[in-house]
Structures are given as C-alpha cells and as structure tokens.
Amino acid sequence: MTRVDGRRVRSERTRAAIVDAVLALVAAGDAAPTPAAIAKRAKVSVRSIAQHFPSRASLFAAASSSYHGRPAQPEPAPSGPLAARITALVTQRSDELEHSRPVRASAARFAAQFEVVAAAVAESAERRRGVVARVFAAETARDPELLEILDLVLGGRVWDALRERGVPAARARSVVERLARAALGL
C-alpha cells in the first residue's frame, strides 16, 4: 500500500489554488494581480504565495505553464474546400483570441520584464503560426509570403485592434474572415 504524504498533497493543492487564482484574476481583467488579491482569491496567505513561489517570475512561469497546458482544440483539416477551411480556422481562432485577450494583455505587460513570459508569448505565436501553415499548406507552398499575410490576419494583433476599436466580436470575426478570403484569392 502506497503511503500518501498529506503535507505534500496540501502543498500541491495550495500551489494549484494560487496559480488558478492568478489566471482567474487575469481573465477577469486584472492584468497585474497583486499578491494580496491572489491570496484572497486563492484563500491563502500572502506568505504562502512567497513560500510556494519565491519570485514573481516563478509564479508567472507556473501560471503560463498551466494556461498553455490546457488541451488545444483540434485543428481544421488541411484538405477540403478552401472556403470551408477558412471559415473553420477563423471561427476557431476568433474564439481562441477573444477568450485569451486578458491573458495576452497581461503577458504583453510583463514580457519585457520576465523572460519566461516572453518565451511563452513567442511559443504561443509560433503554435498559432504552425496551425495556419498546416491548414493552408498547399496555398502557402506556392507563395511563401502568403503565410506571413495569413499569420498576421489570423493573429492576435489584428483581432485586438478590431476589438479595441469597439468592433463587436461577431463583426470582427466577419472582418477577419473577409481579410483571409481576400488574401487567399476568394
């Protein structure tokens, strides 16, 4: 029979509660949650945060790892009618970008300060670019600049620019799809 170390279990639970609190606060719009706010949300003491995460960078590393560790949605198939692939990827990407807006805003704020955050931002951008490259592999093989265009059009900066101007999410999705269709010659 395996013996369970109760202290270790409580420690892991506390770490998870702290990380979950950071992500929940960021998702709620607090781009830079304070230790006091994190502690209150996690129902732990500020001292407990310092015990589990000796630096802000280690806390952000754990939060980033947790956020990026969630299961990804399946990619649209790289075959089939071009119009259907565009619609499928734009729908998926706009949902992802809308959901991740607060996290990306927080990450942008701390990327210059914390290397781990900058690395997570770069990794996320590279993952999204890879999806675009796979879904439109046939089209981008003939025109390498097309991947750059599609990566920009389907990326967070275009989405955020539209949303920050007050464009509703449904209309922003329509604009992004129209841009992608134009780039792909439809």
Q: Is the pLDDT of residue 42 over 90?
A: no
pLDDT top residue among 63 and 152: 152
Task: Convert the pLDDT of each residue in 109-151 to its tens digit.
Answer: 777 777 777 787 788 888 889 999 999 999 999 888 999 999 9
Per-residue H/E/C for 110-173: HCCCCHHHHHHHHHHHHHHHHHHHHHCHHHHHHCHHHHHHHHHHCCHHHHHHHHHCCCCHHHHH
Does the residue 59 lie in any domain?
yes
Q: Which of 68, 92, 118 is the last residue before a domain boundary? A: 68
Does the residue 110 lie in any domain?
yes
Does the residue 140 lie in any domain?
yes
Q: Are residues 86 and 177 in the same domain?
A: yes
Q: Are residues 59 and 126 in the same domain?
A: no
| Residue span of the structural domain in which 107 resides | 82-183
Task: Convert the pLDDT of each residue in 70-105 to its tens digit.
Answer: 666 788 888 899 999 999 999 999 998 888 888 777
Does the residue 33 lie in any domain?
yes
Q: Are residues 55 and 143 in the same domain?
A: no
Q: Which of 14, 44, 68 is the last residue before a domain boundary? A: 68
Q: Are residues 58 and 87 in the same domain?
A: no
Round to whole Å and give the CA distance between 93 and 78: 15
What token pair was written down for 91?
Answer: 């729908």
The domain total for the chain is 2
Round to whole Å and give the CA distance between 111 and 71: 23
Q: Which amino acid is at 121?
A: V
**What's the mean pLDDT in 32-50?**
86
Q: Which of 22, 38, 68 is the last residue before a domain boundary? A: 68
What token pair was written down for 70?
Answer: 């969630």
Q: Are residues 152 and 125 in the same domain?
A: yes
Q: Are residues 90 and 112 in the same domain?
A: yes
**Whether the model pTM is above 0.85:** no
Does the residue 73 lie in any domain?
no
Does the residue 76 lie in any domain?
no
